[in-house]
């Protein structure tokens, strides 16, 4: 068994390592940069770089890389060795402060949404000292931001850092209004729960759709799925347990606070949950976690699937984004305390979140939109595509008392009686949980459940930070005009007004029900079922103004992101369509035709033995499959034409993405329906791909 405290963070140039290795003056200067956002002097950077290099070499590193998060959705890295030639034909190991602070990757091949042309190659990476460097595969990885030569941001990290600063500024204003003069900083914190599937590597390698697309494009439902709810929190299989054990150890070495592991609802589905951290660190850690999950799976003969909907008919995978705000001395600003009705400061922050979510439903939905995640959210699955908030009975009663100017009596803690002498009685929570809510309050944080399992959480948290900061700014502007002795009265009036205008977003019921869809429409809430439906809202006048006001994105940067995301959607659907056509033409059609020939030979043989036989079972099956194959070939032709016509769509990328959704995806679904029907009537030995049963239950 590993000594966890001993291995934890052993691959990270963390605070303890810096304190041990850096001169006191250098360490203090670096900490000031991290805590106050001050620029780092080059002389200090040189000392940090030297110590970082020495530590990395001692731990087996030979190269360094600026590790960044471009708009591809995954991380990027270019590796340079530490070697530098000497006059005698040998080398020394060098690493300068300049190399630490700035890198120059080629920016022309990364998505830029038209900001950079192919011949305009230069881009820059800039060291983010607030996120620790780490060693991976023999390289010192330095977390960085990424921008173009002309200054526009090309990554997901920079907007997140900007949004954290904006929220810090506005949250501190609220704290000062309530008499807090000691808090120096407010950080947003995140704990992203990560769902994933594990399948056998040999089975995975037999499926073109999984290899090229990360999800199955064909597959008849197995006799057993998740109907019995027996996989959720069930006993972890030996092979999966061994994988999880190594995964935990690897993550701990990177200083990642992996805490919880369990089986999820669907067969072969699992979940990993970390302890929360600041939003930027949590983002870096989640990106690293996904990479480590895949790498460790390979060592166990497994493949880790992070697609949001790899299998039809069972639950897809999400990423639950647990968001809150904490001060530098670890006070949680979303902690209601024992008497939330009297905790006016908490209620102001809560009201700000309520208003932010209601006013910016489009942005929150947009942050979770992708080709993969649309299969989850559009199917009204955990959660549906309609934004709403769950607060629980206690908070709803507290807010109702404010809205109605009523006295609220604080509830005594209820005791849960087990009525079995051997079992302990315990204190019951004041509110239940709602697992169907997209944005649910869970005690001292909000759980944003819309994100897809493959998402980079930076986008969602940039948006949450920005929209909450925007409301806090309005609140601070209003409350700062009030005499200090009247703050409580003015704050309650502000909370009451906010509830009257935005309570439509609060819903504590079943978000899966058909009744809620109708009720949400009556309330005027948005129901944006796909990326093409929501993405144009990124560049609406309201949102351009919002992000520009707080310095998060320029209008050019916003439009580039909108272009990138819609273009990526079209490319993904196109790859899936081409893969489906390849599988249909080269594998499925020949397999079904071969089986029909086999059945025909059997029918002819039976007739040759006894010509008077009227009913031959194989004859009926042969006719059924022949009709299905004929229909299948027609569906292939329809999809073929839809893919070709997609390239001819005029009117820009928004029109093209809508065409892919309405026509190409629809044609793929029709093709799949026929294929799955044929699989259900085929010999398993002749069907060209491993079945859903094998994929979901073979590990």
CA pair distance 381, 676, nearest whole angstrom: 22
CB atoms within 10 A of CB 572: 17
Domain boundary among 95, 124, 155: 155
For the domain that residue 362 is a member of, what is the CATH number? Answer: 3.30.590.10
Give the pTM. Answer: 0.94
CA pair distance 148, 117, nearest whole angstrom: 11
Q: Are strands 415-416 and 426-427 parallel, antiparallel or unpaired?
A: antiparallel
Domain assignment present for 312? yes
- Amino acid 117: pLDDT: 61
Q: Which residues of the chain have pLDDT under 70?
A: 37, 107-108, 116-121, 378-382, 411-413, 427-432, 611-612, 614-615
pLDDT in tens, 395-434: 988 988 888 888 777 766 677 777 787 778 776 666 667 7
- Whose tokens are 């030569």? That residue is 149
446 DSSP β-pair partners: 323, 441
Q: What are the b/e assignments for 270-281, b being 16+ CB within 10 Å?
A: bbbbbebbbbbb
Are residues 482 and 573 located together in one domain of the fold? no
As a whole number of angstroms, the longest Cα–Cα distance in the chain is 104
- Amino acid 378: pLDDT: 63
Nearest to 458 by CA among 268, 579, 280, 618: 280
- Whose tokens are 């002749």? That residue is 686
Are residues 168 and 73 located together in one domain of the fold? no
Domain assignment present for 481? yes
CA pair distance 57, 53, nearest whole angstrom: 6
Packing angle between helix 279-299 and helix 238-253, nearest 10 degrees?
Answer: 140
Are residues 58 and 31 located together in one domain of the fold? yes
CA pair distance 468, 450, nearest whole angstrom: 18
Domain boundary among 99, 133, 155: 155
Are residues 446 and 393 located together in one domain of the fold? yes
CA pair distance 55, 234, nearest whole angstrom: 43
Are residues 104 and 171 located together in one domain of the fold? no
Length of the chain: 699
The 3-class secondary structure across 144-203, one letter per residue, is EEEEECCCCECECHHHHHHHHHHHHHHHHHHHHHCCCCCCCCEEEEEEEEEEEEEEEHHH
Are residues 137 and 178 located together in one domain of the fold? no
Domain assignment present for 211? yes
| Contact (Cβ atoms closer than 8 angstroms) between residue 315 and residue 269 | yes
Q: What are the b/e assignments for 456-491, b being 16+ CB within 10 Å?
A: bbbbbbbbbbbbbbbbbbebbeebeebeeeebeebb
Domain assignment present for 615? yes
Domain assignment present for 560? no
Are residues 225 and 350 located together in one domain of the fold? yes
- Whose tokens are 């001050």? That residue is 38
Q: How many domains does the chain fold into? A: 3
- Measure CA 654 to chain center: 23
Evaluate the CA torsion angle 136, 142, 148, 152 in order and state its sign. Answer: positive
For the domain that residue 666 is a member of, what is the CATH number? Answer: 1.20.120.1560
Domain assignment present for 563? no
At 541, give phi and psi (nearest 5°): -60, -40
| Contact (Cβ atoms closer than 8 angstroms) between residue 174 and residue 349 | yes
Nearest to 478 by CA among 493, 465, 468, 499: 493
At 424, give phi and psi (nearest 5°): -80, 145
- Amino acid 41: pLDDT: 82
Cβ-proximal residues to 100 (8 Å cutoff; 6+ apart), any chain: 45, 48, 49, 52, 127, 142
CB atoms within 10 A of CB 151: 10
Sheet strands (E) in 222-275:
258-263, 269-274
- Amino acid 191: pLDDT: 96
Domain assignment present for 323? yes
Are residues 548 and 579 located together in one domain of the fold? no
- Whose tokens are 């040759």? That residue is 608
Q: Are strands 446-448 and 415-416 parallel, antiparallel or unpaired?
A: unpaired
Are residues 150 and 208 located together in one domain of the fold? no
Measure the N-to-C terminal CA separation of the chain; round to a whole number of Å.
24
- Amino acid 159: pLDDT: 96
Domain assignment present for 561? no
What is the residue range of 631's domain?
Answer: 568-697
Are residues 546 and 588 located together in one domain of the fold? no
DSSP 556-585: HHHHHHHHHHHHHHHHHHHHHHHHHHHHII
* Element holding 660 (H helix, E strand): none
* 469: DSSP letter: H
Q: Is 462 helix (H, G, I), strand (E, B) or coil?
A: helix
The 3-class secondary structure across 67-100, one letter per residue, is EECECCCCCECCEEECEEECCCCCEEECCCHHHH
CA pair distance 119, 149, nearest whole angstrom: 12
pLDDT in tens, 100-122: 998 877 766 787 777 766 566 67
Are residues 547 and 658 located together in one domain of the fold? no
Are residues 642 and 690 located together in one domain of the fold? yes
> Before 383, cis peptide (omega within 30)?
yes
* 122: DSSP letter: B
Domain boundary among 155, 183, 198: 155
| Contact (Cβ atoms closer than 8 angstroms) between residue 262 and residue 241 | no
Q: Is 359 helix (H, G, I), strand (E, B) or coil?
A: helix
- Amino acid 40: pLDDT: 76
- Amino acid 649: pLDDT: 95
């Amino acid at each position: 068994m590993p000594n966890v405290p001993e291995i934890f963070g052993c691959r990270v140039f963390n605070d303890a390592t810096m304190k041990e290795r850096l001169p006191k003056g250098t360490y203090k200067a670096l900490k000031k940069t991290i805590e106050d956002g001050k620029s780092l002097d080059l002389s200090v950077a040189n000392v940090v770089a030297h110590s970082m290099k020495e530590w990395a070499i001692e731990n087996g590193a030979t190269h360094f890389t600026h590790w960044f998060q471009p708009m591809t959705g995954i991380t990027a890295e270019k590796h340079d060795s530490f070697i530098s030639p000497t006059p005698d034909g040998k080398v020394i190991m060098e690493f300068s402060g300049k190399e630490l602070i700035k890198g120059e990757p080629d920016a022309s091949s990364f998505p830029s949404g038209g900001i950079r042309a192919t011949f305009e190659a230069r881009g820059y990476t800039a060291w983010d000292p607030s996120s620790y460097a780490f060693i991976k595969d023999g390289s010192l990885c330095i977390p960085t931001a990424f921008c173009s030569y002309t200054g526009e941001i090309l990554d997901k990290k920079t907007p997140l850092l900007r949004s954290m600063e904006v929220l810090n500024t506005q949250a501190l204003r609220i704290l000062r209004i309530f008499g807090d003069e000691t808090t120096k900083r407010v950080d947003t914190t995140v704990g992203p729960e990560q769902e994933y599937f594990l399948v056998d590597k040999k089975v995975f390698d037999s499926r073109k759709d999984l290899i090229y697309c990360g999800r199955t494009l064909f597959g008849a439902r197995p006799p057993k799925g998740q109907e019995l709810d027996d996989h959720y929190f069930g006993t972890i299989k030996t092979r999966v347990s061994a994988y999880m054990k190594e995964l935990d150890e690897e993550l701990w070495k990177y200083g990642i606070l992996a805490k919880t592991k369990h089986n999820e609802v669907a067969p072969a589905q699992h979940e990993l949950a970390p302890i929360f951290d600041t939003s930027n660190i949590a983002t870096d850690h989640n990106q690293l976690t996904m990479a480590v999950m895949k790498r460790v799976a390979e060592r166990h003969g497994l493949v880790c699937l992070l697609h949001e909907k790899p299998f039809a008919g069972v639950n897809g995978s999400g990423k639950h984004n647990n968001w809150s705000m904490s001060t530098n001395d670890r006070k949680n600003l979303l902690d209601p305390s024992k008497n939330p009705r009297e905790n006016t400061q908490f209620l102001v922050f809560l009201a700000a979140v309520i208003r932010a979510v209601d006013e910016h439903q489009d942005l929150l939905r947009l942050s979770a939109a992708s080709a993969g995640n649309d299969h989850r959210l559009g199917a009204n699955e955990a959660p549906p595509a309609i934004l709403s908030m769950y607060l629980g009975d206690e908070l709803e009663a507290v807010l109702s008392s404010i809205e109605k100017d009523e006295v609220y009596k604080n509830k005594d803690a209820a005791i849960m009686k087990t009525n079995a002498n051997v079992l302990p009685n315990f204190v019951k929570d004041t509110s239940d949980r709602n697992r169907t809510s997209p944005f649910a309050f869970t005690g001292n944080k909000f759980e944003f459940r819309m994100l897809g399992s493959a998402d980079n959480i930076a986008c969602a948290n940039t948006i949450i930070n920005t929209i909450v900061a925007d409301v806090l700014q309005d609140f601070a502007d209003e409350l700062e005009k009030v005499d200090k002795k009247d703050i409580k009265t003015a704050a309650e009036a502000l909370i009451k007004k906010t509830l009257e205008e935005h309570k439509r977003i609060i819903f504590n019921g079943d978000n899966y029900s058909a009744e809620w869809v109708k009720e949400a429409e009556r309330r005027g809430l948005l129901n944006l079922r796909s990326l093409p439906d929501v993405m144009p809202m990124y560049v609406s006048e309201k949102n351009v103004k919002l992000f520009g006001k707080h310095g998060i994105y320029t209008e050019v940067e916003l439009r580039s992101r909108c272009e990138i995301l819609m273009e990526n959607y079209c490319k993904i659907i196109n790859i899936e369509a081409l893969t489906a056509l390849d599988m249909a033409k080269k594998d499925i059609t020949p397999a079904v035709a071969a089986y029909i020939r086999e059945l025909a030979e059997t029918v002819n043989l039976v007739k040759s033995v006894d010509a008077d036989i009227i009913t031959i079972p194989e004859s009926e099956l042969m006719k059924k499959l022949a009709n299905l194959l004929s229909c299948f070939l027609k569906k292939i032709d329809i999809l073929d034409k839809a893919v070709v016509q997609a390239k001819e769509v005029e009117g820009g990328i928004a029109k093209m993405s809508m065409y892919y959704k309405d026509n190409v995806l629809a044609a793929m679904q029709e093709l799949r329906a026929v294929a799955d029907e044929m699989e259900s009537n085929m010999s398993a030995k002749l069907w060209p791909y491993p079945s859903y049963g094998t994929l979901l239950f073979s590990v």
